Amino acid sequence: MTQTPLQQEIATMMVSALNLEVKPEEIEADAPLFYDGLGLDSIDALELALELTKNYGFELRAEDDQNQKIFASLTSLAEHVEKNRTK
């Protein structure tokens, strides 16, 4: 599955911000971002949330019950950004 333009943008930001050793286009849109998938951890989630806030103008809160769903995959993250972005 190819990435949408927004997914490409977020994947590029993730690789840069988190110093990942994969190319943005290698991140599968529906693969898990954490643990067995891309292998991100809770520290990565915090850094990613800060980058999303800076780049898209909305805040992700640590106590949000939806975080697990939001950060499930590149697809779910891009959908959340699309709905909530102010930039």
Backbone phi, psi, residue 59, to 5°: -105, 135
CATH among 3.30.420.40, 3.10.20.90, 1.10.1200.10, 2.40.10.170 for 5-84? 1.10.1200.10
CB hemisphere CA count around 36 (13 angstroms) = 2
Check residue 23 and give left, alpha or beta (phi > 0: left; psi -120 to 50: alpha): beta
Going residue by residue through the chain (87 aa), what tens digit of pLDDT does each one get?
Answer: 689 999 999 999 999 999 999 999 999 999 999 988 899 998 999 999 999 999 999 988 888 899 999 999 999 999 999 999 999
Give the per-residue pLDDT at 1.
Answer: 65
Give the per-residue pLDDT at 63.
Answer: 84
**Separation of alpha carbons 62 and 49, rounded Å:** 9
